Amino acid sequence: MARLRDRLDRLARNGVIVVATAAAVVLAVLAYLVFSLRAAQAAGPDVLLAATVATALTAAACGALAPLVRANRALRHEVGRLEERIEALSDAQWELRESEERARSFVEMQGDVVVRRDAEHCVTYVNDAWCTLAGAERGALLGRPFAPPVVETGPVTARPDGIRTFEQAIATPAGPRWIAWREILVRSFGATETQAVGRDVTDRVTAERALAETRERADAASRAKSRFLAMVSHEIRTPLNGILGMTDLLLDTPLSPEQGAYAKAVKTSGRALLTLIEDMLDFAKIEAGKLELVARPFRLAAVVEEVVELLAPRAHDKGIEIAAFVDPRLADPVIGDDARLRQVLLNLGGNAVKFTAEGSVVILAEPGARVGEIALEVRDTGIGIAAEAQARIFEEFEQADGGAARKHGGSGLGLAISRRIVEGMDGAIAVDSAPGDGARFRVTVPLPAAPGLARAPEPTPDLAGTRVAIVTTNPSAAEPVVRHLSAWGASVRVVAPDAADASLVDPAVGTVVVDRAIGPAAAAAIASTTPPAGQRRIVMLRPNERGELTDFLAHGFSDYLVKPVRTASLAGRLGAPAPGTAGPATAPTLVPDPAAAGCRVLVAEDNDINALLVRALLERMGHRPTLVGDGAAAVLAWEAAVSAGMPYALVLMDLHMPGMDGFAATARIRAREAETDRARTPVLALTADAAPEEPDAVRAAGLDGLLVKPLDRDRLSVVIGDVLARVGLAA
């Protein structure tokens, strides 16, 4: 800018000199002419002519001078314009210096460290904060490849705009400091440099690490608490299994009314304690962040029917019915966590049984509002829930009615646990109820169809044109049976016992299903009527009513169904040819236990009371048990039986035993089977752990099923019968 101003000044001075010189020459010539004219007038004509010529030349010189004068004027004008531009540039340069100074002051005031390096990593700029952090003067840093020692570096993140961010601990005279860096490439005087802006985040990193350590200690304490609860749960459930099992055996013996009442009180209290333990354990796991959901293929119908069968003994003990219906339109199998879903249904169904004094509990599974969504509904005819209580019953330790809670017991955790599980599945849970009108709990969860897996074969008898009458005093409990038969094409009518006469003698009614719950007198009255030709009569009874089956079969009933009714059993009974019609004869099964022919069963159980209980249950079912106390003894007993040519039909294996546990023992048995190419021996796991992840470990270990203590006699009979039936050992 200064050089430009000097050049303009020289141009202006040169123009003035030229014009001034020309003017001086003209003035000199004019003075000479004036003097010459005067001399010529005195000298004569020739001299006068010469003077005239000189005058003309002078005039011409003045004319030539005029453009120079005008050019000088234009030059002066241009010089003025340039001076104005120079002034504007000077102002802009001053403002730029002011802006740079403000920016530099702003950077310094922020406390962030700024350093710029060239391609050779030499420092080209540092601010005061960097000098303070490095403990060095600016002059000692510039032009040198200076970088403080790095103590620790975090992960580097490269953004699409070219900015790199990372955190780094560097050694400083004041000790290690954590700096959060932002690096970017910048242009400076035609070269590319790296500018890094860092902020001291030592306090934040220190706080985060302290928080992480605190969280880790808390997690460790929580894990220890969970292990303690699991251990306590196992240790409590083991003797509780003995209490409940022995109470069942005691109730099967001749007792006086007073003794029977006392024994039933023991059983009721034991079951209440078991429920409380399970709720507390589940809640502790959820609070400890142990709610893990595992997505895998499973059959929804199997889960629902299993839940109903598990709840049936409690429901039947109270004199209420329980049933289930799974809509055949649903995908099968589906993807989800079957163990957690089973837990939710057990909680909801258990509450329904608990708060229902008469009537029924029904579990329904139907398509939801969205694709891949399934709606599960648990209905009961119980005491109902007031509107003001419905919002809080899903909170921890909350119950709808304190008086009812004291009467029926419970921890107030079941619904809270269910809500946590359902929300973890991206689902929702709600209730619709009114006092005295029962309750409907509805769960909607996404359970998409399992890709690449074929639908499991389902029994679908063709009942088109078949008329079925169901005689019952509980139409709501009969709803699942009605819906199944209607889906298979049958025309179904539900009638009360006092209105059943017309159906009993109507030859157009092909099948009459009589619910044993109508009472002995009404059932006897129906049994006394002679069925029309071709009419099939089927009785529905509870497992503990099987002793009456012989009488029903002797009075015109052709078959029976055990409640809760399984879909496969219903299809098998109703799909079979009616008496007197063409088709293969199908004799009804008269033996209540499908595996009662008497099988050799190996039992591995380390607890003496539980071993005594299992022995008594198996012997009452007609089996011949052999007891051992640990996994190693179980393997030896199994090998000895195989070598003697008298292999066991079934092994009941406790999973947690001293020395070799049930998992290792089963693995040893499976390995020996593979080595010797022997037939597979069914092995059922016995465990006091109700953990949802236990079934996965059981399947992975090669076991064929799982029985959770305390053992239920009816459940034990069904599971053993199913397992033995699969290997062809049951009738």
- Tens of pLDDT, residues 351-403: 999 999 999 999 999 999 999 899 999 999 999 988 888 878 888 655 555 44
CA–CA separation, 497 and 515 (whole Å) = 9
What pTM value is reported for the model?
0.58
Percentage of residues in the chain having pLDDT higher than 90: 28
Do the Cβ atoms of 183 and 164 come closer than 8 Å? yes
Q: Quick check: 594 pLDDT over 70? A: no
Contact criterion met (CB below 8 Å) for 687 and 694:
yes
- Alpha-carbon span 525 to 509, nearest angstrom: 18
SS3 for 268-280 is: HHHHHHHHHHHHH
297-333 as b/e: b if 16+ CB within 10 A:
ebbbbbbbbbbbbbbbbbbbeeebbbbbbbeeebbbb
- pLDDT band at 607; cut points 50, 70, 90: confident
Contacts of 352 (CB under 8 A, 6+ apart): 361, 378, 379, 380, 382, 439, 441
> Which pLDDT tens digit goes with each residue over 205-254?
999 999 999 999 988 887 787 777 767 777 787 788 888 888 888 988 89
For residues 30 and 566, which has the higher predicted lDDT (pLDDT)? 566
- Band (481; pLDDT cuts 50, 70, 90): very high
pLDDT grade, residue 585 (50/70/90)?
very low
What gap in Å lies between CA 307 and CA 365, rounded to an integer?
A: 12
**pLDDT for residue 587:** 41
Q: Which residues of 414-430 are buried (b: 16+ CB within 10 A; e: fewer)?
A: bbbbbbbbbeebebebe
Distance separating alpha carbons of residues 614 and 606, to the nearest angstrom: 12
